Structure formats: C-alpha cells, structure tokens
Chains A and B, each alone.
Chain A
Amino acid sequence: MKPRFRIERRLEVPSWMNWSIPAGAVAVALAAGAVLLSFLGVSPLAAYKAMVQGSLGDAWGISETIVKAIPLTLAGLAVGLAFTMVVWNIGAEGQIVMGALAAVAVVRYAFVDNSLVILSLMFLAACIAGGLWAGFAGFLKARWNVNETITTLMMNYIAILLADYFIYGPWRDPSSLGFPMTTPFPDAARLPVLGGTRVHVGIFLAIGLAILFRVLYRWTKWGFELRVIGNNPNAARYAGINDLKNVVLAMFLSGAVAGIAGMTEVAGLQGRLQPGFSGGYGFTAIIVAWLARLNPMATILVSFLLGALLVGGDTLQVVMRLPLASVQVLQGLILFCVLGAEFFRNYRIVFIRGGE
C-alpha cells in the first residue's frame, strides 16, 4: 500500500505560522503537563487556574510577573545574541551571578553616596564582569575552537561557587545572625521602584536594550555580519568578515547584558546577595530566546509569559503544595514541543487522495 501522505519542505513560511506554531506548541506542552498533574493526583484545571490567578489575576500578580520578566528579557537577549551566531552560550546563569558579584563589590569597596554615580558604577562593573566571564569562553572558542557549550556551563558552576565563597566567607553580614547573606545595600545603591510594587526601573533597561538589539540586528552592518556568520560561516569568511573577532565581541556583549540582569536583581530587588539568588533565570532564558525565535521584541513578550509561568509556579507551591520543580518540568515540556513544532514550520504534510 502506498503511503497516504508525503512530506514536503516548505519554500515559504506563511507569516501566521510565526506566532501560531509556538502558541500551539505551548498549548500541547500544557496539555502534556495536565496529564502529568493528574497522575500526581492534582486536578490540572484547578492547578492551571491557580497559576493564572496567581500570576495574572490581579495587579500584584501582574507586577510580580513583570519583576521576573525583567531578568528573563535581559538574559534572553543575551543568549539570543550568541545563538544568532550559532555560538552556544549556556552560561547566562554564571554571567548573571558575576554581574551581581561585581555590583556588590562596587558597593562594598567603592561606595559613593550619590545614587546616580554609584548605580552607574555598579552597572559598568556588572557589564565588565559578565562580559569578561562570557568573553573568556568566546576567546577560547575563537582561538582554539574550544567547545563553548561546556566551558560556559562549567563557568556557571564556578561562578555560583565563587558567590558562595564570598557570601559564606569575607562578605557575610556580621549582623545577619549567622544567615549566609551580604550586608544590605545603602539606599543610594538601590534601584528605584515603581509605585507600591517591586517592579524596579530595570524594566526600562530591559525594554531599551531590546529596542537597541532590534536596531542592531535590523539596520547595522555589524548585525548583518552576525547573521551571516550564523547562517553560513564559510560565506562570511569569503566576504572578509572576521568571525573570530566577532565571536569574542558578541560573547562579551552577551555576557555584559546577562551581567546587567545580575546587577538589577541585587540592586532592584534583593538589595544584598544570598545563595541561589538567581534561581535559574539563565537557563529559562534559553527557552525565552528559542520561543522568541531570537527576535528581540518577541523576547519581551515571551519573557512576560514565562515570568507568569514562574509566578504561577510559586502559587502552585503555596496553594497546591507542589514542589517548584513542577515548573521546571513544564519548561522542559514547552521546549520539547517548541522543538517538535519547528518541523511543521519547515515542512508540510500533503495528503494524497485515493485516486492519485
């Protein structure tokens, strides 16, 4: 018997598919999550309802979603920049930590009692620290073709342990009654917040950088070069584009933007450094970048939605007593489905009628 359908490569992707396919993938992932939840003896409808209500149901929930969307947007832009060149920066988590460490170091050793000055210094230090942390992996990749997936990942572990060293050791707050945390920042080193919420001005940084990235990709020669390197490294080399220099530069910028996320987290939200303060934003950012198809403006939207997922996960933990890991499972499922859905974007299935 002949197969009743055949698979063809799409020559053109209809524009409605750009949003409908990721949306469909997320829907399938949520359905799979529902099956899993019912196996755990939890009503999936009640669980999803609690998640939506917790994250988007009232003004506080929405503000908390935005609080999580800020670092996700920044880190999503960061890894998206590297992914555009097909450089696998999996180390945003470590770069966030390094940015935060640098910001705390500035407050500790170079404090100036002027908000604008100290915040600018912290911002710069975070950029440099995150940038160097990623740039080092970029240099190894460019110079000796050292696998950047592994180096950036190993540097995550190193950065987190380095933070632990400072938090448990020399930077520990003597008045914290033995809790591992650094001394709280003075008011001048805190980012202003909006209204009565925890949303800090990092939101403007995130949106501003997204717009900047959009301009960079769309209208600058360098943005074009990055895409050529990503799409066809041989063509880039023939065209005289220095891919080695660009890899190092792109990784530095990628790390710098992730470092900013670290700085806004400590200066905007927590005002001090605690163990595990980033909580996996650097990894969730990979899903953000992939769902947004590396598009900077879409990154903002996707970050908001995944921020809602994280806040909803907190609600699940409180209301349904489900461990926070359930959110990680959902994230994994979403990523699976998005990857699988790419197939339907690239190919189409043509059904063959009986007579042919």
Chain B
Amino acid sequence: MEILVPILSAAIRSGTPILYATLGEILTEKAGVLNLGLEGLMLLGAFSGFTVTMVTGNPWVGLAAAFCVGMAVSALHAFLCVTMGANQVVSGLAITMFGTGMSALLGKAYVGETIRGLGILPVPLLAKIPLLGPVLFNHDPLVYLSYVLVGLACWFISSTRWGLTLRAVGENPRAVDAAGLSVVRLRYAYTMVGGGLAALGGAYLSVVYTQMWVEMMTAGRGWIAVALVIFGIWNPLRAALGSYLFGGVGALQLRIQAAGTTIPAPLLLMLPYILTIVVLVGISVRKGKGILLGAPAALGQPFHREERD
C-alpha cells in the first residue's frame, strides 16, 4: 500500500486541471449548450493565470484573472450559439483555434519565465490520517477547492431549486420559457461559469502544477474533459473519479519514463488518448443496452422562442 501513496497522490494533482474543466462542461451541457472550446479556454486560462501571477506576484489574483478570461471568451461562444443560433460544434472549434493561437501569440514573450505559484498546504489533522491523509489532504488549496466544488455541484444540480431550473433548461427549454424564466440568460450564465472553470483548470497547470508557461501545455486535456463528461454521465462525482483515473495514467506514464524503460516515449504518451477512446466505447456499449443515458435532451440545439420545434 505504501508504494501506492505517491502514485495516488500524483493522480489527484494531475487530475485536478481536468476535473475543473469537466465540472465546467457539465454545468454548460446541463444548460443545453455544448462547448467544445475547453482546450482553447484552458490554454487562455493557463496563459493569463501565469502572466497575471508574474506581474502581480499573487497567484490568487492570477487564478481569478484566468477565471474572468474564461468567462469573457465563453460569453462569445454563448453569443454565437444562444443569441445567433450558430452551430455549437463549429463555434467550439473556433474557440479552441482562437484560444490556442491567442495564448501562443501573446505568450511567446513569457516562455521560460518563472513564478512563485501556489505551494502545498497540508490540512491540519486530516493530513495525519494514515494512507488517506497523504493521498487526499497533502495538496495545494486548489485541490481542496475542487473537492468542495464537486460536492457543491452534486448538491446544487440535484437538490436545489436553481439546479432544477438548470436541468430543465437543458431538457426542455420551452417549459422554462413558459414558466417565465429567460432561457437565454440562464444559458449565458452557465456557459460563462463553465468557461471560467475550464480556464481555472488551465491556470492550475501553469500557476500550481508546473509553475511555468509553455505553448500548447494543456496537450489535449480539454478534449479529454469533454470525453469525461460523457464518461461521468453528467454527474460531478463520477466525473471526478474519471479525472483522477486520467491523472493517474499521466502520473504513471511519467514514472515509467523516469524509471528508464525501453518502451519509446511516444508510445507511452499515447496512453491517455487510447484510454479515452476505450472508456468512451465502454460507456457507449453499456448505454446501448438501455442503461440510463444522462445527456440533456436539448443539448446542442438552439432555442428559438417564436418557432415551433
């Protein structure tokens, strides 16, 4: 068991950026909006979090800035998809293209710079629990925040009035409209919060995890998050487990490389992407047998108030 502790602990840390993005996407998709721009939002978050931390010297300001950038850029996605009724798949791809390009363009000058990001802060008492303590409670504050957010999201979606409205706007926007609530406003709000969380996940990579900025540093994590939403059947808790599974594979692959193996690095680097496909096929095969679907019924469909469905 003792051997497992460092690996599990690393799994949590490297799974956290994916978890933030996945949580954000769950909120967005629950509202009926598909945002495939996570990869671009994460990169923008990583870049803006890093540079603002560097300039202000305060990682919390950097993280907050990343969240705001994510909100602003996903507002553009909401404008195109909700207001203009544009194709959500293509708009998401445009966000990813724009975010990748923009972060690389503006970030060129910051490659190789260093910052003092967030450090590790063991939770008093809890960190002393054997096995569980070092795995779960010997991390940076953002990991703890993600625990809180997962619990909060579960409770919010399933047991609050606002959560009921959120589910309704993704399942049956017409009913929400008839109840006198604005579908447009709700979809904007959840798309923006979701985008902010994705950017925060990106900022975790640059401000906390590596404490440096590298172009394209998310390496497909945004896309893995999109897949994890399906894997987690839109449930935050399952999404968290999925994120840690992927974090674990990433951490394991680094360890195998460090241990000096004869397996060539490119083949090891493929693991998370292969796992994504395997997981997605697994979940889809089970879905085919009639186990619950979970996808919001109106996901990806624009809502036109004055038109019949």
Binding site for B on A (CB under 8 A): 9, 40, 88, 90, 140, 144-147, 149-151, 153-155, 157-158, 161-162, 164-165, 168-169, 283, 286-287, 290, 322-323, 325-333, 335-336, 339-340, 342-343, 346
Binding site for A on B (CB under 8 A): 36, 40, 76, 80, 84-87, 89-91, 93-95, 97-105, 108, 215, 220, 223, 226-227, 230, 264, 266-267, 269-270, 273-274, 276-277, 280-281, 284-285, 287-288, 307
Known: A158-B270, A323-B108. A145 touches B100 (CB 8 A): no
- B223 to chain A: closest residue by CB: A153
Known: A158-B273, A161-B270. A339 touches B101 (CB 8 A): no
CB distance from A292 to the nearest CB of B (A): 13
Measured in the bound complex, the distance between the Cα atoms of B308 and A9 in whole Å is 12
Q: Which chain B residues border A331 with CB–CB below 8 Å?
A: 97, 101
Measured in the bound complex, the distance between the Cα atoms of B105 and A309 in whole Å is 16
- Of A9, A150, A164, A335, which is within 8 A of B97 by CB? A335
Q: Which chain B residues border A153 with CB–CB below 8 Å?
A: 220, 223
Measured in the bound complex, the distance between the Cα atoms of B98 and A336 in whole Å is 9
Known: A328-B100, A333-B98. A343 touches B86 (CB 8 A): yes
Q: Which chain B residues border A325 with CB–CB below 8 Å?
A: 100-105, 108, 215
Q: Contact between A335 and B94 (Cβ–Cβ < 8 Å)?
A: yes
Measured in the bound complex, the distance between the Cα atoms of B76 and A342 in whole Å is 15
CB distance from A189 to the nearest CB of B (A): 25
CB distance from B223 to the nearest CB of A (A): 5
Given contact pairs A140-B284, A150-B276, A339-B90, a sample of 16 additional A-B residue pairs in the complex whose CB atoms are under 8 Å apart: A90-B93, A145-B287, A145-B288, A147-B230, A147-B280, A150-B227, A158-B273, A161-B269, A162-B270, A168-B266, A169-B266, A325-B101, A328-B104, A329-B98, A329-B101, A335-B97
- Of A154, A290, A327, A329, which is within 8 A of B90 by CB? A290
| 14 examples of A-B residue contacts, CB within 8 angstroms | A88-B89, A144-B287, A145-B284, A145-B287, A149-B226, A151-B277, A154-B276, A328-B100, A328-B104, A329-B101, A332-B40, A332-B98, A332-B101, A339-B94
Q: Which chain A residues border B105 with CB–CB below 8 Å?
A: 40, 322-323, 325-326, 328-329
- A344 to chain B: closest residue by CB: B84
Q: Contact between B93 and A335 (Cβ–Cβ < 8 Å)?
A: yes
Q: Which chain A residues border B307 with CB–CB below 8 Å?
A: 9
- B226 to chain A: closest residue by CB: A150
Q: Contact between A157 and B89 (Cβ–Cβ < 8 Å)?
A: no
Q: Contact between A150 and B230 (Cβ–Cβ < 8 Å)?
A: yes
- B227 to chain A: closest residue by CB: A150
CB distance from B220 to the nearest CB of A (A): 5
CB distance from A138 to the nearest CB of B (A): 13
- A153 to chain B: closest residue by CB: B223
Known: A146-B280, A154-B277, A328-B104. A165 touches B90 (CB 8 A): no
- B95 to chain A: closest residue by CB: A332
CB distance from B273 to the nearest CB of A (A): 4
- B101 to chain A: closest residue by CB: A328
Measured in the bound complex, the distance between the Cα atoms of B280 and A145 in whole Å is 10
Q: Contact between B97 and A283 (Cβ–Cβ < 8 Å)?
A: yes
- A146 to chain B: closest residue by CB: B284
Measured in the bound complex, the distance between the Cα atoms of B272 and A261 in whole Å is 27
Q: Which chain A residues border B36 with CB–CB below 8 Å?
A: 149
Q: Which chain A residues border B285 with CB–CB below 8 Å?
A: 144
- A327 to chain B: closest residue by CB: B101
CB distance from A29 to the nearest CB of B (A): 10
Known: A154-B277, A169-B264, A323-B108. A286 touches B101 (CB 8 A): no
Q: Which chain A residues border B86 with CB–CB below 8 Å?
A: 339-340, 342-343
Known: A155-B277, A325-B108. A164 touches B84 (CB 8 A): no
- Of B87, B226, B270, B281, which is within 8 A of A144 by CB? B281
Identify the interface centre among B103, B230, B280, B287: most chain A CB within 10 Å of its CB: B280
CB distance from A78 to the nearest CB of B (A): 16
Measured in the bound complex, the distance between the Cα atoms of B223 and A327 in whole Å is 22
Known: A165-B264, A332-B95, A339-B87. A154 touches B273 (CB 8 A): yes
Q: Which chain B residues border A335 with CB–CB below 8 Å?
A: 90-91, 93-94, 97-98
CB distance from A264 to the nearest CB of B (A): 24
Known: A149-B89, A151-B280. A323 touches B270 (CB 8 A): no
Q: Contact between B89 and A165 (Cβ–Cβ < 8 Å)?
A: no
Measured in the bound complex, the distance between the Cα atoms of B238 and A86 in whole Å is 29
Measured in the bound complex, the distance between the Cα atoms of B102 and A168 in whole Å is 30
Measured in the bound complex, the distance between the Cα atoms of B93 and A164 in whole Å is 25
Which 6 A-B residue pairs are closest in the complex by CB-CB distance? A332-B98, A328-B101, A325-B104, A335-B94, A329-B101, A332-B97
Known: A154-B276, A157-B220, A332-B98. A147 touches B87 (CB 8 A): no
Q: Contact between A144 and B227 (Cβ–Cβ < 8 Å)?
A: no
- Of B84, B95, B215, which is within 8 A of A340 by CB? B84
- A347 to chain B: closest residue by CB: B85
CB distance from A150 to the nearest CB of B (A): 5
Measured in the bound complex, the distance between the Cα atoms of B103 and A339 in whole Å is 22
Q: Which chain A residues border B80 with CB–CB below 8 Å?
A: 336, 339-340
Q: Which chain B residues border A165 with CB–CB below 8 Å?
A: 264, 266-267
CB distance from A352 to the nearest CB of B (A): 16
Q: Which chain A residues border B40 with CB–CB below 8 Å?
A: 332
Q: Contact between A158 and B288 (Cβ–Cβ < 8 Å)?
A: no
